[in-house]
Structure 1
């Protein structure tokens, strides 16, 4: 009975592999699956005949599969396992007594023995197990090495005048370095960190919330107080030593199903130098809301500062060409610099061609009066827009965080693309110039000083997603005021922030052609010499938990249009890799200005996009209006687009892991020193196994002068500490919810250093929601 059932299993496997293998071969893929299918079918026939030669043939299949797998991908356990896992399990099953006892070497079975075939299969299985064990000790994809420990800059410009123990802006200072000069916590003692206090905000994800309801906030710290915001736009002040709530302000931004995002990455802080200490609103916290307001609050008590704008509230919908409710809002904290508060805004991707303007506006930080506006559709006129007029609609917007250099009098703005992201026909000259770029504007007038584009004629939603980091860099020509701009495609643009010219070389490389009728592609695209962009995918890079879903992924891969990075969108369906989730996203990178090195978290997930002619788009109300995944309607455009991650029938990435790393690079040489897998599948697999596969994440890192980097972000619920020099993990703490925010660190008057992260989960990546603020410190 056992042999008959086994033969049926082999028959079914052979049939499935045969059908899929023929399909794959017709598409131009590997012939292995046809050969394996034939082997399974013959083994099934021999098992039905109870012939021991089935074991011998299966031994040949084991050896052949092992050789093919090593030839394709080498000794990478995570890629060998799906190729050979099922085959190994079945091989072990064939060696069990209840199978072997029923087999003979002849049709009559008289005096026959299965010893030799069984021995052959045993040897093949042992060899495969040895190779599997060896591959578990190897990681052919990691880069090992060390960053220089040398302090290369004696006069470090951190970009802000504040106590070492404070954290006044999103990236600590207007430079956005995410670097703290604190060094009580070091590589030697970080493993002793323990929870100091935990606070729960009470703002939790609700059933009626949009999917992209996320905690992404980085707290600010001023003297003895932390300031945070929550997804539903509450502002909260906490005692930094105890985590006890000092005050809470609810902006009552309401619910709107048209919003694409419900999040707040942070508030902005300002101390009025002309105010008397203790005077109401002498220090302020500015809260951006998801209904397009900016509210000024007294940092001491959370009361509205009525002298700012309209009774304390700045209405950002003013000057917008369409009703912005649900379609325009600020998810990131504004920049405070040169007596101004400067803000951009997020628009809903791929909802409609009637999107709001991406205008950048500077307001007097005390009165809320408009000082200048930079509208990329009318870039030379920055004087305040007169009443009754509107800004250019659907222009590239800045949804992330800007940086500022008050000494140079410049603000550095990361810009996105025009909606629809995948359709480029009819774009204006200004859209072509400013999409997916970093723009330097004069802090006092808003006039443009320079622009550096990172994608020409962007058809892939490759917004510049992260705050540019400002750091002085030693070069052969002396010290240069530098800017590090991370991009979704994995390039790090290291520029002279005075001029936008490259410090690390940038070159133009040929790009795929063949856009849809009426559109075009750029013949070349820029790439930095410092890049984390992955090599192009091939069929051998397809993955699965078994040979079956891996086969499906191979078939799907060849059905898509793919010619490498920047393959144009198509009606057939195109593979986008790096995907629009980004190698880097809003979390950006952290930079040590003393050592002039960077720490980042490159992520690798392929996406797909397929254009849908307007006539084939279902009526409104069927499918989504626009999102990172699913049908994006693009109302008013000739095509909608279906997009999302490239996943198998089981919902796992079709490309092989790792999908996430931590990495370190030298900003003087442009060389990547090390790159290691980051994170486990504990919280994203049916069985909570802590396999260090290297998982995706969204969030950002920080660096300290103690040589330690801190990072949550990954889709498993941990906060981790790393040695910046070599990337080795030094410590981890289990979080009660997803840690898709950027941590920060501070100290109090007694010198005690704390590390704080907000753990509330992320809607898009599906991590556990929550409302936790957690502080860690060393034991007494």
Structure 2
């Protein structure tokens, strides 16, 4: 694909493009990102001022007080318990450190300013959020970090607001609405601060939205420009959407953008299309979903794009943030951008124009069923696949499909990669010492997938990884950017891996089910591990590490709070609330860490425990039974009528291959099934209808499921019983 040009469709043969026969060679630290500088290897003070340390997000620190010879002595220097955790939370924040002060966010958008050497709390920002169960948050309650600039801390909140805080005391300086949370628009990324601008994306593609990236003035929050990731009529790329499908075409931006000061360009990767798995109503390549996009930082005008997946019907989007570094090819220094998506492929492009540095081949792929409007080819890079693309463990009686199998009606198909098997939100890291990119790849976990022609939900289909006989494992990998080959692999046989990565000198830090690890950046040999301890609220190692120096002492800081999506898909990731800074023993003596406990204003994050009642195996005597089937994230019927004060027993029958639940919003309070029903199972819930006529909602209370379309209404009328809807 050439920059600023539509991809040719219906070609008779594969098309190769890019700089052919290129070998990348050594990449130097200075100038890896224009304008970036790196400290000496043993400084007295060293900041981590941006998400990824530099605005190109290399996640690299040129420091080596902690090194291969002594990392085994690393120990906790201090521990902060934030007091913030819920059944749906993930602690994924990457702390910033500026002039000895650390700034870190909680999963519920609190911000803590800490003494970076001791963990002592200087100030706390308590957000004013609506109840989180009322927000259409796709993939867990989380915040991935803050931005620093002009003496301010910037946080993009779950309720789709951008807040500027005084870095000295935490006071709110300004606050603006990015979009409407009532329309399931949310923010989970860390903003980017660059040259007086605060730049944020938007998360909402699972709920029929039109994504965008927006720049605001750091001084007062004035909107400077907005770029819609799904082009409208008259805009380049709108012809890749059939009809009016662009209006809700998706294109979330999950990862923090990156910035090249010399080129004046902002880069980001986009998320999936909407509806996610049903492509029948949005024929075409669907730009700029599933793409890397470069914008003019001053105007927001598109400069180039590269689409990694055409007409996505697999959820193979790109939540991983982009990564900037400098490559040398054919005797030239080439400003490069790297990015991996959930298909398992990694792309390295010339960030000046979007041209592939390693060749990319438009490769024919399956095109049935035709009603899905599947793309005829997909862009495959000449770089090693980072995760498996075929089924490795066969399950008797289950239909299988390799990568690019188009989901269809009928029996579900087991496909690898699944919806969450590849590169997710965790940022990769790059080391100019090794020329390696270090990636938390996800790993192997095929998902069952089925799609219906009739659209019942915003997902457009049903995905499920937790099935009898299925298996998973995680892969943390180093990719040699000089050859495009995998340099080393660390396998986690217990769980997919979901952890940010950072490089400090000759060490790479990352998390997996074993805890936080330090490995030899060149060989992958594990040199040190700090295990999780759920009993002490030291949860899953699913944070994103930062490295800094205060008063001549080097620290590595990491959040241990687990990941809700791993917990939901049978991975290992216990809940927790701990932020831990590690350092070498002072004076060679081990010591107990200082433990700090925060006192925050809690955000309402879950439905109350009192709302849940045990399911019944049969209806109570005298209750009228209302049968409701559920499949494809939809209730059948989605409406029914009842008389005031009537005894009702709702019989929930799951005819799908994934589980569901149901909860009713009544004047007396919420009442719902405690555990729900499993695939192919059924259960009852009984209650008395309200005495007042009206429409009372019911929905699946588990995470974002109701916002996909699993909701309905009970109409209490004097006429009494009837069923409506589908």
TM-score, structure 1 as length reference: 0.65
Of the candidates 96, 116, 139, which is equivalent to residue 220 of structure 1?
Answer: 96
Point out where structure 1 has 5 or more consecutive residues left out of the alignment: 1-147, 272-282, 306-311, 318-322, 383-390, 543-552, 618-632, 679-692
Query: For 1:594 and 1:195, how far apart are their aligned partners in 2?
Result: 27
Of the candidates 620, 634, 647, which is equivalent to residue 458 of structure 2?
Answer: 634
Q: What is the match of residue 266 of structure 1? A: 145
Question: 1:573 touches 1:608 (CA, 8 Å); kept in 2?
Answer: yes
2:359 corresponds to 1:478? no
- Residues 23-422 of structure 1 mapped to structure 2, 5 A cutoff: 152-153=27-28, 155-158=30-33, 161=36, 164=39, 165-205=46-86, 211=88, 213-257=89-133, 258-260=135-137, 261-271=140-150, 283-305=151-173, 312-317=174-179, 324-325=181-182, 327-347=184-204, 349=206, 351=207, 355-375=208-228, 376-378=230-232, 392-422=247-277
- For residues 253 and 195 of structure 1, do their structure 2 counterparts lie closer, same or farther at Cα, with a shift above 3 Å needed? same
Equivalenced residues, count: 533
Q: What is the match of residue 439 of structure 1? A: 293
2:580 corresponds to 1:774? yes
Question: 1:512 touches 1:563 (CA, 8 Å); kept in 2?
Answer: no
- Residues 518-667 of structure 1 mapped to structure 2, 5 A cutoff: 519-538=372-391, 541-542=392-393, 554-556=395-397, 559-602=398-441, 603-612=443-452, 614=454, 633-634=457-458, 640-645=460-465, 647-648=467-468, 654-655=470-471, 659-667=473-481
- For residues 664 and 694 of structure 1, do their structure 2 counterparts lie closer, same or farther at Cα, with a shift above 3 Å needed? farther
Of the candidates 331, 334, 342, which is equivalent to residue 488 of structure 1?
Answer: 342
Question: 2:249 touches 2:275 (CA, 8 Å); kept in 1?
Answer: no
Q: What is the match of residue 52 of structure 1? A: none
Q: What is the match of residue 498 of structure 2? A: 698
- For residues 428 and 367 of structure 1, do their structure 2 counterparts lie closer, same or farther at Cα, with a shift above 3 Å needed? farther
Query: For 1:734 and 1:392, how far apart are their aligned partners in 2?
Result: 47
Name the SS of the counterpart of 2:530 in structure 1.
Answer: strand
Compute the displacement of 1:461 (Å).
0.8
Of the candidates 520, 523, 528, which is equivalent to residue 731 of structure 1?
Answer: 528
Q: What is the match of residue 560 of structure 2? A: 759
Name the SS of the counterpart of 2:396 in structure 1.
Answer: helix
Query: For 2:367 and 2:500, how far apart are their aligned partners in 1?
Result: 34
Query: For 2:426 and 2:351, how far apart are their aligned partners in 1?
Result: 21
- For residues 471 and 575 of structure 1, do their structure 2 counterparts lie closer, same or farther at Cα, with a shift above 3 Å needed? same
Compute the displacement of 1:380 (Å).
7.5
* Post-superposition CA distance 1:220-277 (Å, at most 9, x none): 0001111011111111111001001110011121323243331100011102xxxxxx
Q: What is the match of residue 448 of structure 1? A: 302
Question: 2:205 touches 2:272 (CA, 8 Å); kept in 1?
Answer: no
Question: 2:192 touches 2:258 (CA, 8 Å); kept in 1?
Answer: yes
Compute the displacement of 1:594 (Å).
4.0
Compute the displacement of 1:492 (Å).
1.1
Query: For 1:586 and 1:608, how far apart are their aligned partners in 2?
Result: 22
Compute the displacement of 1:704 (Å).
1.3
Rg (Cα) greater in structure? 1
Query: For 1:368 and 1:708, how far apart are their aligned partners in 2?
Result: 39
Question: 2:85 touches 2:577 (CA, 8 Å); kept in 1?
Answer: yes
Query: For 2:357 and 2:175, how far apart are their aligned partners in 1?
Result: 42
Question: 2:290 touches 2:307 (CA, 8 Å); kept in 1?
Answer: yes
- For residues 230 and 291 of structure 1, do their structure 2 counterparts lie closer, same or farther at Cα, with a shift above 3 Å needed? same
Query: For 2:195 and 2:294, how far apart are their aligned partners in 1?
Result: 15
Q: What is the match of residue 499 of structure 1? A: 353
Report which of the two has the higher share of helix.
Answer: 1
- For residues 154 and 316 of structure 1, do their structure 2 counterparts lie closer, same or farther at Cα, with a shift above 3 Å needed? closer
- For residues 465 and 394 of structure 1, do their structure 2 counterparts lie closer, same or farther at Cα, with a shift above 3 Å needed? same
Query: For 1:380 and 1:411, how far apart are their aligned partners in 2?
Result: 23
C-alpha RMSD of matched pairs (Å): 2.4
Report which of the two has the higher share of strand.
Answer: 2
Query: For 2:119 and 2:224, how far apart are their aligned partners in 1?
Result: 38
- For residues 190 and 569 of structure 1, do their structure 2 counterparts lie closer, same or farther at Cα, with a shift above 3 Å needed? farther
Compute the displacement of 1:564 (Å).
3.9
